[in-house]
Structure 1
Amino acid sequence: MGGLFIPDAIMFDTKVALIVRDDLAVWQKLNVVAFLATGVAAAAPDALGEPYEDAAGRRYGRMLGQPMMVFTADLPGLQAAHRQAMSREVRIVPYVHAMFSTGHDAANREVFRAEDADHLNLVGIALHGPKKAVDKAVKGLKLHA
């Protein structure tokens, strides 16, 4: 799995998958993935680990306590994953193309609400939920290289 090592003793009942559209510029992909990850953390604060502390006792922020797999897809692939996730018990964090043209959070929600709900112009989605449900939603997608 792309060099990711998870000891057998550490298994998770849930899974986090971030899916980013393959035709974006690199800066856009990174931006989308960062925003999606914050959405997962905000929606699942219980999934956050403890704060980090260095050898000098300085405390640092918390991170999600489980791996996040980053996948890539074209628009139809994102829309298919979205449909699969909608039919399961999966938390979905969306990012649509129109959000690139806004300057603040309230405007993001406005442009999202204006989207055709059945044909979202997705540039990324984050999925968090039961492992099997997330696996079904990302079935056939490639890990981002």
Structure 2
Amino acid sequence: MFETKNALIVRNDLAAWQRLNVVAFLATGITASAPEILGLPYVDALGREYGKLAGEPMLVFEASLEGLQKAHFKGLERELILTPYVEAMFSTGHDEANREVFRAEDAANLNLVGLAIRGPKKAVDKVIKGLKLHP
């Protein structure tokens, strides 16, 4: 149905609140990278307008650190849109600090807790091959 695919991968050893937090941030990364996926505002029966939602599904997967790193490298090879979330970002309080701790990471060995991937469906499928959907 869609030519593109959105996959969010979250590390499987995180606390529930951390998983939810990471998924929420990764979803914003997808919509920021592809604002065209946003639909129109919702309007209720009384005419009140609400916010927009993405018009494409975002599938949530889980993986170990190694699985996330593997998906990251495959996504880089295929030049897909990637939005990372590293563990050090849990200790920051604002966006600038998040970018600073990300920049300080070993780029060849990111300590990922989450990764959003967007791109052509077949390419994304190759990157997430073998990962399990989050329960």
> TM class by shorter-chain length?
over 0.9
Q: Do the aligned residues in 2 keep the contact of 1:89 with 1:130 (CA within 8 Å)?
A: no
After TM superposition, the score normalised by the length of structure 1 is: 0.92
Stretch moving more, 54-63 or 111-120: 54-63
CA deviations on 1:74-103 (whole Å, 9 max, x unpaired) are 000000000110011310000000000001
- Once residues 14 and 57 of structure 2 are traced to their aligned partners in structure 1, the CA distance between those partners, rounded to angstroms, is 23
- Once residues 31 and 15 of structure 1 are traced to their aligned partners in structure 2, the CA distance between those partners, rounded to angstroms, is 21
- Once residues 91 and 50 of structure 1 are traced to their aligned partners in structure 2, the CA distance between those partners, rounded to angstroms, is 23
CA deviations on 1:9-40 (whole Å, 9 max, x unpaired) are xx100000000000000000000000000111
Matched, 1:22 2:12: yes
Q: Which residue of 2 aligns with 1:4?
A: none
Secondary structure at the aligned position of 1:106 is classed as helix
Q: Which residue of 2 aligns with 1:95?
A: 85
Gaps of 5+ in 2: none
Q: Do the aligned residues in 2 keep the contact of 1:75 with 1:123 (CA within 8 Å)?
A: yes
Q: Percent identity of the aligned residues? A: 69
Matched, 1:61 2:54: no
What does residue range 1-145 of structure 1 map to in structure 2 within 5 Å? Answer: 11-145=1-135
- Once residues 47 and 90 of structure 1 are traced to their aligned partners in structure 2, the CA distance between those partners, rounded to angstroms, is 16
- Once residues 129 and 52 of structure 1 are traced to their aligned partners in structure 2, the CA distance between those partners, rounded to angstroms, is 26
Amino acid at match of 2:107: A
CA deviations on 1:29-59 (whole Å, 9 max, x unpaired) are 0000000001111111111111111111111
- Over the aligned positions, Cα root-mean-square deviation in angstroms equals 0.6
Secondary structure at the aligned position of 2:110 is classed as coil
After TM superposition, the score normalised by the length of structure 2 is: 0.98
Gaps of 5+ in 1: 1-10
- Once residues 122 and 51 of structure 1 are traced to their aligned partners in structure 2, the CA distance between those partners, rounded to angstroms, is 33
- Once residues 93 and 19 of structure 2 are traced to their aligned partners in structure 1, the CA distance between those partners, rounded to angstroms, is 17
Structure 1 runs of 4+ with >3 Å offset: none
